[in-house]
Every structure is written in C-alpha cells, then in structure tokens.
Amino acid sequence: MAKTRVLFLCTGNTARSQMAEGLLRKYAGDQFEVHSAGLEPGVIHPLTIQVLEEAGIDASEHYSKGLTFYLSRMRFGYLITVCDQADKNCPVFPGMGVRLHWHFEDPAAGEGSDAEKLARFRQVRDQIDAQVCAWLAEQSVPSRVAIQEA
C-alpha cells in the first residue's frame, strides 16, 4: 500500500517546514511520505537542527528545497503551509490534494540573546509538535509520544 505524501511549505524551508517534516516523519513516517519546501529556499537555520536533535531527530542531512523541485514530479495527498506568506503566495498546481494552513510565528524573526532565540525555536518546535500530533489524531493515526511528554 502506497503512503500518502505530505508536503510542508514555508517561505524559506529553513525552520518551520523542516521541523514539521522531521516531526511527522518521526511520528508516522511508516504511514506518510513526508517532504518540505520553500517558496524562496534558503539555508537551514542552525537552531532548527539543534531543536530537532533535542527531539531525537537527526536533521544534519536536511537541506532547503524550492517548491519547483516538486512541481510536476509528485502528487501530494496534503499540502500544509506553515507560514502566512506561503499560504498567501502558494500557487495551485495539479496533483495537490487537501490544502491546510497551520500558522506558526517565524522563530528566526526576533532579536535577543542566544538563549532567547533558542527559546523561540523550542517554543515553535513544540507548537508544531502539538499540531502534528493533533492532526494525526484527526486522521486516526496513532502517533508516538509527543516531545512534551517524552
């Protein structure tokens, strides 16, 4: 049986969509084929890799991909935008199933000390974690223990 493909989309594919990809793959990678992309791909933020490692996810091989990488290559059961700009500017293209929008603040956008920046990344990671687990429950897919409970 083929896995349902899920694409998480953000502006740069440097933080939120990478977190969502890693978390969904961790919890239900046996049931979903998970990808992420950005409208304007950049370089994955080092704190993204750090907070994913804290959650037991090795993101050292992750890299930022543009949406055009997937256009006409794959069909997705779900397109989930994780930032408002991606939701507003994402084109509609053939082969896209259900489109959802999950709003999360950009953890890289704020100023502050290194500790404050890391705290923002952890907060967004935990929000994405909760949303992924809630979505899996709606899909009747049992997920593994959430980060907050681990």
The residues assigned a catalytic role are: 10, 83, 90
How far from the centroid of its chain's Cα atoms is residue 87's Cα? 13
DSSP 66: B
* Cα gap 5→28, rounded to integer Å: 12
The CA-atom distances, in angstroms, between 13 and each of 45, 64, 78, 104 are 9, 5, 17, 13
* Cα gap 137→112, rounded to integer Å: 36
